């Protein structure tokens, strides 16, 4: 399988983090997801039912970002991977979580965690 669907820059406010002010005030999180699947059938039939609805995937990702708070963005990435892998056509997913306002005292642009998971 060499085909992919990528959705980048999914933004939502979440209340994740280990510090009390992160949980109280919230902050923007950004997620990128890359779905690994075969797009051969969809390309052949031109039928949306033969692919993954990326709008629905984006909504699922945003729901995790705004959902139940976690301490670590590693956990957030895993939750997103678990949900994406419930879609029957998806064989692999790579999730990157960006935390551009992480509580770091030195100048920085972004903090990211990236995981790749495959269907068991």
62-108 pLDDT per residue, tens: 999 999 999 999 999 999 999 999 999 999 999 999 999 999 999 99
Q: What is the pLDDT of residues 3-32, one digit of tens each?
A: 999 999 999 999 999 999 999 999 999 999
pLDDT of residue 1: 60
Is 99 marked active-site?
A: yes
Q: Among residues 16, 79, 98, 99, which one is catalytic?
A: 99
Helix 54-66 × helix 73-84 angle, to 10°: 150
Q: At which residue do the structure tokens 């990236």 appear?
A: 114
Hey, what are 40's tokens? Answer: 């051969």
Cβ atoms within 10 Å of 48's Cβ, excluding its own: 9
Hey, what are 95's tokens? Answer: 């999730």
User: What class, spelled out in words, does domain 4-118 have in CATH?
Assistant: alpha beta
92 vs 110: CA distance, rounded Å: 25
pTM to 2 decimals? 0.94
Q: Residue 120: is its pLDDT beyond 80?
A: no
């Amino acid at each position: 399988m060499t085909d992919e669907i990528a959705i980048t820059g999914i933004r939502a406010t979440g209340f994740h983090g280990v510090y009390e002010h992160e949980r109280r005030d919230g902050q923007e999180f950004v997620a990128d997801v890359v779905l690994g699947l075969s797009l051969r059938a969809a390309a052949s039939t031109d039928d949306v039912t033969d692919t993954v609805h990326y709008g629905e995937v984006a909504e699922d990702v945003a729901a995790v970002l705004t959902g139940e708070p976690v301490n670590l963005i590693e956990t957030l990435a895993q939750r997103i991977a678990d949900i994406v892998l419930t879609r029957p056509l998806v064989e692999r997913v790579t999730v990157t979580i960006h935390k551009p306002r992480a509580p770091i005292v030195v100048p920085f642009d972004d903090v990211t965690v990236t995981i790749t998971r495959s269907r068991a």
